[in-house]
Amino acid sequence: MAKREKDDEGRVVIKKYANRRLYNTSSSSYITLEDLARMVREGTDFVVLDAKTGADITHQILTQIIMDEEASGGEQMLPVSFLRDLISMYGNSMQAMMPQYLQASMENFRANQTKLQDAFKASLGPDAFSKIAETNMAMFTAAAKAFMPQDIAQPGASSGPDESAENELAALKKQMAEMQERLARLGK
């Protein structure tokens, strides 16, 4: 039997056998539903075919992954009220429109998520986390200098408040206030 790595649309072909095992024809290996969930998260496009009939059962498998994720004991994504509303749409005259509506809603959600991430990056710059780490370290150093006697902080130095440490602390406070203002503007 010849191995099919990808279908005509360039998707990885997964075959499901009668023993409920899933076979990835691209990697020539048996995989689990968890592996398929990982592939989805990584953006790998695949199709699941019944090995005996060749029928496309991708929808069923993806639904099964959602059910497993919801039942895993972690945080559930689908609220009960949403599930009830979704179930009530089956057999309803609006059922035919729901797939397109849900798809458009998800695309809108992703677009908004991307815009929010871009706005956050733009407000703090590309190296935002390293700036925060540097600020935290500088604040710690300034606090150590301000609150520790100089003979302990710097052996051989005289005790008493260090004016440069106070200036550093004031500058850091100003930086923190500016960062909080930026975050507040993002939240509006």
Tens digits of residue pLDDT in 7-44: 767 899 999 999 889 999 999 999 999 999 999 999 99
- What does the mean pLDDT of the chain come to? 81
Query: How far is Cα of residue 47 from the mean position of the Cα atoms in its chain?
Result: 24
**Alpha-carbon distance 179 to 124, whole Å?**
8
Q: What confidence category does residue 147 fall into, taking pLDDT thresholds of 50, 70 and 90?
A: low
Pairing mode, strands 46-50 and 29-31: unpaired
Amino acid at 32: T
Per-residue confidence (pLDDT) for residue 159, from 0 to 100: 47
Helix (H, G, I), strand (E, B) or coil at 59: helix
Per-residue confidence (pLDDT) for residue 150, from 0 to 100: 56
Q: Are 13 and 7 in contact (CB under 8 A)?
A: yes
Q: What confidence category does residue 1 fall into, taking pLDDT thresholds of 50, 70 and 90?
A: very low
Tens digits of residue pLDDT in 80-111: 999 999 899 999 888 888 899 889 998 989 88
* Neighbour-count burial for 96-116, b at 16+ CB within 10 Å, e otherwise: eeeeeeeeeeeeeeeeeeeee
Query: pTM for this one?
Result: 0.59
Tens digits of residue pLDDT in 107-140: 989 888 888 888 777 776 666 667 777 777 777 7
Q: How many residues does the chain have?
A: 188
